[in-house]
Amino acid sequence: MAGTDPIHQFVIQDIFSLFTVGGDGTEGSGLHFAFTNSALFMVATVAIISLYLVLSTGSKSLIPNRAQLLSELVYEFVANMVRSAAGTAGMKFFPLVFSLFTFIFVANMLGMVPYFFTVTSHIIITFALSMLVFLTVVIYGFAKNGPKFLKLFVPAGVPGYILPIVAPIEFISFMSRPISLSVRLFGNILAGHITLKVFTGFIVTMSSLGFLGILGSALPLIMAIALTGLEFLVGAVQAYVFAVLTCMYLNDAIHPSH
């Protein structure tokens, strides 16, 4: 039954325990730290990105080979994204956006491999990443602009008597950014993987119902194949969306007046 349980793929298992902070020593108390399957895939994600980018650019060829060309294309892609959304001043956040984009992208792609764990299917991961962006925006925004950063909530050209309505809306929309950013990524990946698992589960369930069931299981099979392609697309698009929104939020920190 475990093979068709759509939730099972999100279970986090300890590979080995590290330490427990606080608690009374009994099981389940305190903060338990462990090297989990999630951690394993985070390490794998970072290792893949780092090794690929470092090794493919090792020769520093003037005329790139294929591996180096891919690295350069990703670099140019993210660099153009940052430059167009946040301007040249935003390029100081280029490593952050590049890390976010590649991390989410590779984690999503790894998650598409059967039996692999999807790091981004956990709300705490996406929320941590979006809080990283949010705090970067707030801290840098105040450090660079001081109180002028609050002009972010006062759109230029709005008459004074509307401001009591507009400013709270702007404030709420600003404060809800980390939630929308994290839930968008988490929800897309989680829902996609559950749907995929449910349809592939149908194949198994129907196949066990005899000859007609095997024939009928072609329908969820087709669906599963289509969903697999869609999930690759969603994984790539969500990484892109996360990076683009990060750039736009950073732009607010750099140029707070609308």
Partner 1 sequence: MVTQANAQEAAAPADTTHAAPAVDATHADPTADTHATTEAHGGGHESGVFPPFDPATFPSQLLWLAITFGALYLVMSKIALPRIGGILENRKAIIDADLAAADAARQKTDAAIAAYEAALAAAKAKAQGIANQTRETIQADLASKRSSVEADLTAKVTAAEARILATKTEALTHVDEIATETAQTVVTQLVGDVSTDSVRAAVAKAKE
**How many helices (H) and strands (E) in the chain?**
8, 2
Stretch that binds partner 1, among 10-18, 147-155, 171-179, 244-252 (CB under 8 A): 10-18
Q: How far apart are the first and last CA of the chain?
A: 55
Q: Is 50 in the site for partner 1 (CB under 8 A)?
A: yes
Site for partner 1 contains 181 (CB under 8 A): no
33 binds partner 1 (CB under 8 A): yes
- Report helix, strand or coil for 31: strand
Residues within window 117-156 making contact with partner 1, judged by CB under 8 A: 121-125, 128-129, 132
Q: How far is CA 224 from CA 19, 114, 231, in A?
A: 41, 13, 10
In the bound complex, what is the minimum distance in angstroms from residue 214's beta carbon to partner 1?
A: 25
Candidate ranges 1-9, 159-167, 229-237, 242-250; the one touching partner 1 (CB under 8 A): 1-9
Of 5 and 222, which has the nearer Cβ to partner 1? 5
Give yes or no for residue 43 binding partner 1 (CB under 8 A): yes
* C-beta of 13 vs 173, nearer to partner 1: 13
| Coil vs helix vs strand at 168 | helix
Alpha-carbon distance of 46 to 207, in angstroms, equals 39
CA distance 190 to 85: 28
Distance CA 79, CA 159 (A): 37
210 Rama sector, left if φ>0, alpha if ψ -120 to 50, beta otherwise: left
Is residue 36 classed as helix, strand or coil in its secondary structure? strand
The CB-of-45 to partner 1 minimum distance in angstroms stands at 7
> What does the alpha-carbon distance between residue 155 and residue 167 come to, in Å, rounded to a whole number?
8
Pick the closer one to partner 1 by CB: 94 or 149.
94
Residue span binding partner 1 (CB under 8 A) among the ranges 14-22, 81-89, 157-165, 172-180: 14-22
Q: Is 45 or 217 the residue whose CB approaches partner 1 more closely? A: 45
In DSSP terms, which residues pair with 19 in a beta bridge? 33
Residues contributing to the site for partner 1 (CB under 8 A): 1-2, 5, 7-8, 10-18, 21, 27-28, 31-39, 42-43, 45-46, 49-50, 53-54, 57, 60-62, 64, 68, 71-72, 75-76, 94-96, 98-99, 102-103, 121-125, 128-129, 132, 186, 190
